[in-house]
Amino acid sequence: MNQLEQLKQYTTIVADTGDFQSIQAFAPRDATTNPSLILKAVQKDDYRPLLEQAVRDNAGKPTGDIIDRLLVAFGTAILKIIPGRVSTETDARLSFDTEGTITKGRALIALYEAAGIPRERILIKIASTWEGIRAAEVLEKEGIRCNMTLLFSLPQAIACADAQVQLISPFVGRIYDWYKKSTGQEYTGADDPGVQSVKRIYNYYRKFGYKTEVMGASFRNTSQIVELAGCDLLTISPDLLQKLADSDAPVARKLSTDEAKSADLQKLTLDEKTFRYMLNDDAMGTEKLSEGIRLFCADVVKLEKMVEALR
């Protein structure tokens, strides 16, 4: 078996792309999208018609509504290819707006349900701010499952689990980027700070019996992926999926519930003040969360400009 086939023995593989052809090629169970991936996709000739149709069919609606319908059009098309779930992201400009995020999550689910897609097949992606986590807590109680993104630290993960969200997406590669830039060092294998962060979160969840799924995300190389074999899910870009498929090097399970139960971790209780203090105390987590929100916001604005140019 190649590395991708071996990895599928231990972990659910998720395609991190808005490219339908790549999703078909690698046969993942689930798929994730974000504003940056959708922006990239609609600039290609193959996917431009989806953007044009969204604008044409909703000509009298606000730009934000057209963007929502574009996201749902991508998600609906992806769900025709995969057997599992697709993640669709809320507007990153709502990252500090609990009520706004709740309203957006409900609106996206309503659009999917109007298209005949059951809410069980959708994950609403929300930034792992305190406000975003509170929004997810409300949505989960309504049966709207959430994927907490832009997650870089243990306190974010604990708050998400306490809110009983469906899934979190800790960002391996962006953590690696920060430490590489900060220290000037190269990290590989088990020494990678991004890998270590996800292992800590996974072990914490399994040791203390949390049901929230852990999906490692934002990978820079296959070494990071292989080191997390056994994680609940891993969302992987097409180029790295191809590298895994091209290699027959051995893949061993690295994460398991049994090993997690013996991890040296203390259970923490977080209120808002403790959450904010612990996140603030983590320079990497604070900087990467802020940066991630800014980048996603910028890509939403670019999408809006593309929509407005077609009106």
Residue tagged active-site, from 125, 199, 207, 288: 125
Find all residues with CB under 8 Å of 195, minimum gap 6, and list them.
172, 189, 224, 227, 228
- Specify the 3-state DSSP secondary structure of 227: coil
- Provide φ and ψ at 148, rounded to 5°: -85, 115
Give the Å distances, CA to CA, from 214 to 16, 78, 161, 176, 279: 15, 22, 10, 18, 19
Question: Could you tell me what percentage of the chain is helix, strand and coil, using 3-state DSSP and rounding each to the nearest 5?
Answer: 55, 10, 30
In one-letter notation, the amino acid at residue 230 is G
Going by the DSSP 8-state scheme, the letter that residue 171 receives in this structure is B
Q: Identify the bridge partners of residue 233 per DSSP, sorted by sequence position.
A: 12, 215
Identify whether 80 is a catalytic site residue: no
Number of H helices, E strands in the chain: 15, 8
The closest alpha carbon to 36, from 305, 304, 297, 218, belongs to 297
DSSP 122-140: EEEEEE-SHHHHHHHHHHH
CB atoms within 10 A of CB 276: 15
Active site residues: 125
